Amino acid sequence: MEKRQLGRTDLHVSKICLGTMTWGEQNTEAEGHEQMDYALERGINFFDTAELYSIPPKPETQGSTESIIGSWFKKTGKRSDVVLASKVVGRTANEWFRGGRPSRLVRADIMDAIDKSLKRLQTDYIDLYQIHWPDREIKFGANPNRLNEVPAPLEDATPIAETLAVFDELVKAGKIRHLGLSNESSWGVMRYLAESDKGVGPRVQSIQNAYNLVNRLFEVNLAEACTREDVSLLAYSPLAQGYLTGKYDGGALPEGSRKQLFNRLQRYETAGAAEAFLAYNNLARSFGMAPALFANAFVTSRSFVTSNIIGATTMDQLKEAIDSADVTWTEEMQKAVDEIHQKVGNPCP
């Protein structure tokens, strides 16, 4: 499988990344191990996780995904075959991450997070350690369709330079190799880069934001900023939490689906979303392709996407997602997608 350079690092990651957030909730340890075995066989060398996972977040399962990856490393001895990415939570009132208190992007909390993650992952280092979301108040996902008012700065917001200094410690201690962002805005990316350009902490190498057929907002501002600054996009939610597979078309609610189990898909249940999903899913079918294959191929084909983070709860889903790496994206497909996008815009930011 094609490998692409991660930021300005010497790391080259597969254009498909194995997402892991269902392991420990919808998937067992054995199923997680099976997915990692198969992904490696197919040429994937990039795994993404987070201290938050599994999803949906709750204290009973927090950290379970990292533990499953750690037990696979111990069993297989294949840590060196994998570029491993994980994340520290941003500002949150949830107290289970830090043992009974809210969490912020301050030194004590980041140090607590990295040490716990390393222990669960059974490794001495994380290749790419990402800030899951900012310390400041911001819409999750960072790229709203509209913003009537910019939130005022929080009185106790952690300065970016202060957070970067902690990551500098982690790099020097050998606990992480590189820094990445997630759910960030153009302003946030450029502020981190400005501080590192002044010599404060490591340079940001990646950003993990949502990107898919119903949310192409990364293309506005962020694509240019990240391309010119060599910040790699690691695109998450390529299937819009399952809506771009077609399984929810017409109001269907399959047994065992994420919506049926957890009812947490409100991000993709906005005005105009159902019509947009049906249009794209039917377009895929008109090309003789399964909607999921089509939607994943669209994301992977973008010139500004370094790696497409796929996720699956079954092996059949995983195989189809990885197969999308072999799809040739044509001008005809792009023209048809753009015609729909012109009509429906970005209904699911």
DSSP assignment letter at 288: T
List residues bridging with 233 in a β-sheet: 207, 305
Tokens of 2: 């094609």
Please tell me the predicted confidence (pLDDT) of residue 151.
82
Average confidence score pLDDT of the chain: 96
**Stated pTM of the model:** 0.96
Q: How far apart are CA 76 and CA 227, in angstroms?
A: 36
Query: What is the pLDDT averaged over residues 312-325?
Result: 98
Please tell me the predicted confidence (pLDDT) of residue 142.
65
Please tell me the predicted confidence (pLDDT) of residue 66.
98
Q: Please give the share of the chain, as a percent, with pLDDT higher than 90.
A: 92
Which residues are marked as active site?
A: 53
Best CA proximity match to 251, nearest among 229, 233, 273, 234: 273
Q: How far apart are CA 55 and CA 221, in angstroms?
A: 30
pLDDT tens track for 328-345? 999 999 999 999 999 999
Please tell me the predicted confidence (pLDDT) of residue 1.
95
pLDDT tens track for 160-183? 999 999 999 999 999 999 999 999
Q: Which domains does the chain have, with CATH numbers?
A: 3-344 (3.20.20.100)
Distance of CA 299 to the CA centre of its chain: 13
Q: What is the DSSP string of 64-91?
A: HHHHHHHHHHHHH--GGG-EEEEEE--S
Q: How far apart are CA 172 and CA 132, in angstroms?
A: 21
Q: How confident is the model at residue 6 (pLDDT cuts 50, 70, 90)?
A: very high
Neighbours of 206 (CB within 10 A): 25
Please tell me the predicted confidence (pLDDT) of residue 147.
77
Q: Does the pLDDT of residue 187 top 80, yes or no?
A: yes
DSSP assignment letter at 238: T
Q: Does the pLDDT of residue 139 top 90, yes or no?
A: no
pLDDT tens track for 228-274? 999 999 999 999 999 999 999 999 999 999 999 999 889 899 999 99
pLDDT tens track for 29-63? 999 999 999 999 999 999 999 999 999 999 999 99
Q: What are phi and psi of 269, to 5 degrees?
A: -125, 40
Please tell me the predicted confidence (pLDDT) of residue 141.
67
Q: Does the pLDDT of residue 143 top 80, yes or no?
A: no
Please tell me the predicted confidence (pLDDT) of residue 253.
92
Q: How confident is the model at residue 208 (pLDDT cuts 50, 70, 90)?
A: very high
pLDDT tens track for 83-127? 999 999 999 999 999 999 999 999 999 999 999 999 999 999 999
Q: How confident is the model at residue 152 (pLDDT cuts 50, 70, 90)?
A: confident
Query: What is the pLDDT averaged over residues 274-286?
Result: 98
Instruction: Give 337's contacts (C-beta < 8 A, 6+ positions apart).
Output: 213, 280, 283, 298
Q: How many residues does the chain have?
A: 349
- Which amino acid appears at position 18 of this protein? L
